[in-house]
């Protein structure tokens, strides 16, 4: 399939990039830190603005974990504001801007977000609340002019509001200028009393998003042919570390949530907790699914399990199939840590990816030696075993963990193993 460079598709691409980037977040306000403890209020609109204004720009001047939490929230929300303002202003002139310039500006933005998120991530990683609770927050009250037009539209007012608990996430959408839609789908007054599990939740998302953005910046986009070329292999290694840390943090978070015995203004709730404003209701089976999927994801990410890479595979794995010879499984860790030395291209035309020197070394693809099937292609086979060709994908996890009842399937009998 050949991708066009029409203004429509360019707009769509930039819009997608901006939307993805807007999920990330993080920037700060400058103001001298006071010697006396700061008054931190993250539960009212005025208190939020005042708190962010008085926090120091330099994270090293933060005096305690409550200040670190407020600082991270202020930076994240302000980074969101800056991204939306940037995207809004650039969207109007994208049709008149040469494509390479658009790409360069997007890359600059991604790098800035990565820098900001690295700071916020390090601050979040320092926080250890132990058993105590920290700030009470009400994200629906964090209201600001996000697109920089000097007005506060309804969608901006409720941009950080939490969707009502228990609704199908398909009905959320983003807040729009429709009061009835907001009232139906959002809980602007919802409050959370932050505990260590919530801090770990935020930390894991920072690690994941920073990792994904780092992954993106490992590649250069050829705007003529819409190819991605691996230009900065070292960033792939960094991305592997960050996403691996995200998986570990997510597991620590799951343990922390399950260990909670209180039940008051919770974010993610364990099956015994009822006082939660987290949009998804998770039962005991969801937590089991979470544990199983994360264990498989971590083993795959660290190269302990191999992904099936077959020429007949479909989807992304099919695109990567040429990385591995027949009879080999893909070692994700090696792919990130020792990517093919020859140019790795991913794109829309031509033989993809170009890994003609890789098969000789076969670095990411150790042979699978055991002549038995070990299950479906998800979960992947343990290194040294042969995975089966059919995937039972767990779609959209963890967003719809409740709907994701993954079960291993027996191997297809005709699989040549």
Q: Which residues bind Ca ion (CB under 5 A)?
A: 145, 147, 149, 151, 195, 197, 260, 266
Least spacing, CB of residue 211 vs Ca ion, in Å: 25
Q: Which is nearer to Ca ion, 58 or 149 (CB)?
A: 149
Least spacing, CB of residue 110 vs Ca ion, in Å: 24
> Are residues 351 and 388 in contact, defined by beta-carbon separation less than 8 angstroms?
no
Q: Which is nearer to Ca ion, 264 or 285 (CB)?
A: 264
For the sheet with 329-330, list strands across it.
329-330, 305-308, 381-382
Tokens of 85: 């303002």
Q: Which is nearer to Ca ion, 142 or 226 (CB)?
A: 142
Q: Which is nearer to Ca ion, 88 or 122 (CB)?
A: 88
Q: Which is nearer to Ca ion, 67 or 266 (CB)?
A: 266
Q: Which is nearer to Ca ion, 103 or 253 (CB)?
A: 253
> Are residues 192 and 234 in contact, defined by beta-carbon separation less than 8 angstroms?
no
Least spacing, CB of residue 202 vs Ca ion, in Å: 12
Least spacing, CB of residue 147 vs Ca ion, in Å: 4
Q: Which is nearer to Ca ion, 52 or 306 (CB)?
A: 52
Separation in Å, CA 316 to CA 60, 300, 307, 312, 353: 42, 15, 11, 12, 11
Identify the bridge partners of residue 228 per DSSP, sorted by sequence position: 221, 346
Least spacing, CB of residue 280 vs Ca ion, in Å: 14
Least spacing, CB of residue 92 vs Ca ion, in Å: 14
* Cα distance between residue 7 and residue 94, in whole Å: 8
> Are residues 55 and 67 in contact, defined by beta-carbon separation less than 8 angstroms?
yes
Separation in Å, CA 50 to CA 41, 148, 158, 408: 8, 19, 19, 52
Least spacing, CB of residue 224 vs Ca ion, in Å: 37
């Amino acid at each position: 399939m050949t991708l066009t460079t029409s203004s429509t598709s360019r707009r769509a691409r930039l819009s997608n990039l901006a939307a993805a980037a807007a999920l990330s977040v993080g920037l700060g306000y400058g103001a001298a830190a006071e010697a006396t403890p700061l008054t931190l209020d993250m539960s009212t609109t005025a208190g939020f603005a005042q708190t962010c204004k008085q926090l120091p720009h330099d994270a090293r001047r933060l005096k305690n974990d409550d200040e670190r939490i407020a600082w991270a929230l202020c930076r994240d929300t302000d980074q969101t504001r800056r991204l939306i303002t940037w995207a809004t202003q650039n969207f109007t002139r994208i049709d008149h801007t040469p494509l390479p310039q658009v790409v360069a500006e997007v890359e600059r933005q991604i790098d800035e977000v990565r820098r900001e998120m690295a700071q916020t991530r390090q601050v979040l990683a320092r926080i250890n609340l132990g058993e105590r609770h920290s700030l009470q927050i009400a994200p629906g009250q964090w209201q600001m002019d996000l697109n920089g037009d000097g007005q506060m539209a309804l969608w901006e007012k409720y941009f950080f509001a939490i969707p009502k608990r228990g609704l199908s996430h398909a009905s959320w959408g983003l807040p729009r200028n429709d009061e009835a839609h907001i009232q139906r789908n959002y809980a602007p007054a919802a409050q959370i009393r932050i505990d260590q599990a919530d801090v770990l939740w935020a930390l894991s998302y920072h690690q994941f998003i920073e990792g994904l953005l780092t992954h993106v910046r490992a590649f250069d986009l050829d705007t003529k042919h819409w190819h991605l070329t691996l230009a900065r292999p070292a960033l792939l290694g960094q991305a592997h570390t960050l996403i691996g840390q995200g998986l570990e943090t997510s597991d620590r978070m799951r343990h922390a949530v399950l260990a909670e015995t209180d039940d008051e203004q919770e974010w993610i709730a364990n099956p015994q907790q009822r006082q939660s404003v987290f949009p998804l209701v998770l039962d005991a089976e969801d937590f089991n699914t979470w544990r199983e999927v994360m264990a498989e994801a971590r083993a795959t990410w660290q190269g302990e399990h191999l992904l099936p890479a077959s020429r007949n595979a479909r989807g992304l794995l099919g695109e990567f199939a040429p990385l591995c010879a027949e009879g080999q499984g893909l070692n994700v860790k090696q792919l990130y840590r020792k990517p093919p030395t020859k140019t790795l291209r991913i794109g829309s035309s031509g033989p993809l990816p170009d890994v003609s020197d890789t098969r000789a070394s076969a670095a990411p693809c150790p042979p699978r030696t055991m002549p038995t099937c070990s299950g479906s292609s998800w979960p992947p086979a343990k290194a040294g075993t042969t995975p089966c060709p059919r995937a039972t994908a767990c779609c959209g996890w963890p967003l719809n963990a409740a709907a994701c009842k993954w079960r291993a399937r027996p191997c297809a009998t005709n699989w040549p193993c």
